[in-house]
Chain A
């Protein structure tokens, strides 16, 4: 059957077809849909881990047991998993183990645009780079074979553009399959999977040999494909960049690399001598180019004409080609951008009725006494207008540790950490333990919206529902925090503006180690959220003071009506957007906002 599949759907399909029996992941754009799709296939187990290191550790256990397995994460997730990953290279694997890293060139939804191909070189294991969905599906099988044959972890690297593009995939309809128990566990004869120093020293040269063997295989592997054309120019490319090359350098010779590490250097050398000029087109780092230069292969052009930063596009590849003097067809002309009218930008905003709103409304009122360390999730939007209530944000789980360090270094303001429920389970527990242990007076606001919202509503340990839809045990955050020895623990209704204010103030004054407030209210995209009738503004009462705009709700608009005393525009509420959370009603000083008639 022939179907349009996204890169992520194809990776999931490829994993299932290749007999992956267990998969673990932590959500993160652009990787999230891989496990969501894999979870739907028969005869497999797929899980959300609490963070990426846990996901990889889960996969390692499965592999050592003999199962084929994948661990899936976004690029920065690999940083979290890196400790295990670097030593997994030393232990090697048993059942094929593929780490899927979905990178984000362009940083569309990430804190950086690191190029994770570098991990392959750093950790000395292969990296495969599919260029479309069909590649993604097939490369998964190849990656697992290489992994098993060479006893190595393999990195399958996607990018946002690959993960979130659909292209044609041909496959046979998946059939029913039974989950297979593993064979009886066999203890190793010569121990390699207990990576104590003596074994690490023994393994290191073996790993270097393993890499050499993979490089030799790469010389003739089908995933590295020659497309001969005009030999005045030879282009070497990999991943999604190949698609731009195929269009812009149409007619010239192309070497499409399916594996960016280790490289088939002899094959590339032969290609380079056949063509007059070798051009390397790759996204982000000069990863291949540097290796070629180090090997003494003459590269005519690479990062001198193609950008180092950001996502590649057809336009950028065309511009580079023209700069290199390649006779490519120019574009017929241009349409001028609309400059005569100011086009307002459209930044994202917290949804109407979002449970994070009342907290940030209050935080903005308290911020002159506070330093606010933020974390990653929908609540990162606390940095924007009208709240502007976030002073630092760096990586998942960092808020608590940063608030801690700020305070211990002598910070005079209250130090507040804001962290979501999913992030709390990801990497909030250990910094909280450190804060309790060192008796640090910080406020930790756990914004518990009962879901991992930012990445599209995935369940997490706080909700207790598993990826495959089974109800497990909900971990109660307040209970956990109390058990850790926190002496101020209060739960508060996320939509009760006054209660949130009171709890926040009390927490900021607490002087006996960390104070934890759990702000509870379900994200509007969860089944727990119950929309209510929309609110409306009574024009007889509204004094156009603008306080309601400080809650930052997309449903609150400037009205055409003018408040006569001041000549200012009154407020109106968009009845299609409003779901009646009442936060604006609670802050209105004159009671002008009331429930609509519906």
Chain B
């Protein structure tokens, strides 16, 4: 039985980080725990960094995690996993979407996007498990690129060994009915990604 969990979801504006974190907080309640979530999204619409904290416990105080206490870092973008890695607790796990979204400084040629394999290796060195997910191709395969967050939540549900049905239900309650089927497919694909 899960009693306490700290999650940090990070990504880039427009990727669906905030919806995903709403769903994760709801699953905490559905598990019979208290839950809080907190986000910073000031400039999210314009391609800035989005961070969202989710905490599950019998009784949650602070809505934000403390650096060094995150059980699972869920990164919607590769570079963001690297940026937030020190929030992880020693031995904590990372789910990382392999998608790369280049910041303006890289587009302008003023900075480089680090090599993907080097980034993953650096994450491996610091974390318990690192689960890279090809969330964008999987979402496309499911039939809608906007199901990236469903893919990643499904991977998280599998990592946590919680009842996947709870997650799927929480997702389906959030998405418009006409997208229920693509989300179900995306969920299956995301679950499978955790097993590789």
Contacts and interface: CB of A to CB of B under 8 A. Distances in A.
A168 B112 contact: no
Interface residues of A, number: 55
Interface centre among A108, A318, A337, A346 (most CB of B within 10 A): A346
A558 to B, nearest CB: 6
28 contacts: A108-B42, A109-B42, A109-B43, A161-B38, A161-B64, A168-B34, A240-B63, A243-B61, A247-B62, A315-B67, A315-B68, A335-B88, A335-B90, A335-B92, A335-B127, A337-B85, A338-B82, A341-B82, A341-B119, A346-B12, A346-B103, A347-B105, A349-B47, A351-B46, A351-B47, A385-B105, A385-B110, A554-B104
Nearest to B92: A335
Contact of B63 (A165, A336, A342, A351): A165
Given A318-B66, A342-B114, A168 B86 contact: no
Contacts of A337: 85-86
Contacts of B129: none
A243 B62 contact: yes
Nearest to A162: B63
Interface stretch (B21-29, B147-155, B156-164, B181-189): B21-29
Interface stretch (A210-218, A287-295, A326-334): A326-334
Given A164-B38, A165-B36, A334-B68, A342 B108 contact: no
B45 A525 contact: yes
A96 to B, nearest CB: 29
Given A108-B40, A244-B62, A381-B46, 12 more contacts: A4-B36, A164-B39, A240-B63, A243-B61, A334-B86, A335-B88, A335-B92, A346-B83, A347-B104, A385-B104, A385-B110, A558-B109
B35 A168 contact: yes
Nearest to B83: A343
Main secondary structure of the interface of B (DSSP, over half): mixed
A554 B47 contact: yes
Interface of A: 2, 4, 29, 108-109, 132, 160-161, 164-168, 240, 243-244, 246-247, 313-315, 318, 331-338, 340-351, 378, 381, 385-386, 456, 525, 549, 552, 554, 556-558, 569
Main secondary structure of the interface of A (DSSP, over half): loop
Contact of A333 (B26, B68, B106): B68
Contacts of B39: 164-165
A30 to B, nearest CB: 8
Contacts of B90: 332-335
Contacts of A456: 45
A161 B34 contact: no
A337 B86 CA distance: 5
A340 B106 CA distance: 18
Interface of B: 12-13, 22, 25-26, 29, 34-43, 45-49, 60-69, 79-80, 82-83, 85-90, 92, 102-115, 118-119, 122-123, 126-127
Instruction: Kindly list the 9 A-B residue pairs having the minimum CB-CB distance in the complex, ordered from nearest.
Output: A109-B42, A348-B43, A165-B63, A344-B111, A165-B38, A348-B48, A314-B66, A348-B46, A337-B86
Contacts of B41: 164
Interface centre among B22, B62, B64, B105 (most CB of A within 10 A): B62
A313 B64 contact: yes
Interface centre among A243, A334, A343, A456 (most CB of B within 10 A): A343
Contact of A558 (B29, B66, B107): B107
B83 A167 contact: no
